């Protein structure tokens, strides 16, 4: 089987490539690329998602594909059911397309059914069953892989959280890569990165060697850190970030993107490519309003259901914390969670350049920072050693 993938979902693409004895002949990131690939890629099966970016109507897309490649088997991922679902599925059937999935979650078992026909229904029965099948609640006990974007509209602790989070996830057995894009590239100080790595990012980008970034960057056990020159105000271009990101994603279980303060094109791409977001607040009311403005600017790109609001440098029993908590809750009640992160005092400064983090040295379980970090890790279902969760795609 030779697949052409047009699902616009990096993790699903990676899972298919790694877990099925198939050849991925091409990957289309939008409708225009799909039309181009169909003309010359020798694929026998296309997996296409309705969410694939592009201006064309979904029926027009199917018409174009079937006119160009009448021999191509099509697997269609419809997404969430709506009022057009029944009519569109009937339309697909008229085009002899019966391998379809309707729903917001695609599990590995569903991929088995769609790709390999394991326990699959046949013909018209597929359409009826998918329409009538009730939604199931999926419990995911442990995080298997993720892209985590840390962002904010003010300087209030993004890099500090990314530092502790990256170190601990790598200690728990994840192949973790931290992409540090914050102004001044503060990861160099936090991780004690030697200056031999300072110009690596700029050099690889200028030489179009994006694929070499993981092999060349700073490493510590199962942790990779991709960063620029300490103190530099220069940022990479959006196209270079995306190239780096896709190569990094293919070789990592967890990617953490520590963004530059404020909203720019790279931060927007980081948010659009993540499945977990940490939006950092503190107890400063001005910073709250700056984040509120950022959410308004993001508009439909802001997805509260995948976003955790982190209230940094706080004490959860203080009046200032309670006030900001209420303001955040009023701002959007659909946040996946609102979590405190207490200050760790002078440890941040003391541990710079030492290769250690505040989380790793705090053995006192009564410490507020340690407790709050444990709560964040638990909330995202970070796994323990020796355990594994079923993959689920949303």
pLDDT digits (tens, 9 = 90+) for 36-82: 888 767 788 899 988 888 877 888 899 989 988 888 899 999 888 88
pLDDT of residue 270: 96
Indicate which CATH number applies to the domain containing 344: 3.40.50.300
The domain in which residue 320 lies consists of 146-393
Return d(Cα 126, Cα 110) in angstroms, integer: 12
The reply to whether 69 and 160 lie within a common domain is no
pLDDT digits (tens, 9 = 90+) for 24-33: 777 888 888 8
Same domain, 184 and 92: no
Residues 379 and 289 in one domain: yes
Examine the domain organization and report whether 91 and 194 are in the same domain.
no
CATH of the domain at 83: 3.40.50.2300
**Same domain assignment for residues 97 and 221:** no
The total domain count for the chain is 2
In a domain, 357, yes or no: yes
For residue 283, being part of any structural domain is answered with yes
Same domain, 97 and 154: no
pTM greater than the 0.85 cutoff: no
């Amino acid at each position: 089987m030779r697949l052409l993938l047009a699902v616009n979902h990096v993790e699903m693409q990676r899972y298919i490539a790694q877990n099925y004895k198939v050849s991925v002949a091409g990957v289309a990131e939008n409708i225009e690329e799909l039309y181009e690939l169909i003309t010359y890629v020798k694929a026998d099966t296309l997996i296409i998602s309705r969410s694939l970016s592009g201006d064309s109507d979904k029926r027009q897309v199917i018409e174009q594909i079937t006119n160009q490649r009448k021999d191509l088997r099509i697997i269609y991922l419809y997404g969430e059911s709506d009022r057009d679902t029944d009519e569109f599925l009937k339309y697909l059937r008229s085009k002899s397309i019966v391998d379809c999935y309707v729903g917001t979650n695609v599990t590995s078992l569903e991929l088995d059914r769609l790709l390999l026909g394991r326990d699959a229904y046949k013909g018209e029965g597929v359409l009826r069953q998918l329409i009538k099948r009730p939604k199931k609640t999926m419990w995911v006990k442990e995080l298997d892989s993720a892209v985590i974007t840390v962002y904010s509209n003010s300087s209030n602790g993004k890099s500090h959280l990314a530092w502790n989070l990256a170190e601990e996830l790598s200690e728990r057995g994840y192949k973790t890569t931290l992409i540090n894009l914050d102004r001044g590239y503060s990861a160099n100080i936090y991780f004690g990165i030697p200056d031999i790595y300072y110009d690596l990012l700029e050099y690889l980008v200028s030489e179009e060697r994006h694929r070499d970034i993981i092999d060349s960057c700073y490493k510590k056990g199962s942790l990779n850190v991709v960063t620029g020159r300490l103190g530099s105000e220069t940022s990479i271009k959006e196209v270079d970030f995306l190239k780096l990101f896709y190569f990094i994603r293919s070789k990592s279980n967890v990617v953490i993107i520590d963004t530059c303060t404020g909203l720019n094109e790279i931060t927007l791409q980081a948010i659009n490519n993540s499945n977990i977001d940490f939006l950092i607040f503190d107890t400063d009311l001005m910073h709250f309003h700056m984040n509120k403005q950022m959410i308004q600017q993001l508009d439909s790109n802001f997805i509260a259901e995948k976003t955790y609001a982190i209230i940094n440098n706080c004490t959860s029993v203080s009046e200032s914390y309670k006030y900001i908590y209420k303001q955040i809750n009023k701002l959007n009640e659909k946040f996946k969670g609102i979590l405190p992160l207490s200050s760790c005092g002078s440890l941040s400064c003391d541990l710079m350049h030492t290769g250690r983090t505040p989380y790793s040295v705090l053995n006192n379980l009564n410490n507020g920072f340690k407790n709050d970090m444990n709560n964040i890790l638990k909330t995202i279902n970070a796994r323990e050693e020796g355990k594994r969760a079923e993959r689920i795609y949303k």
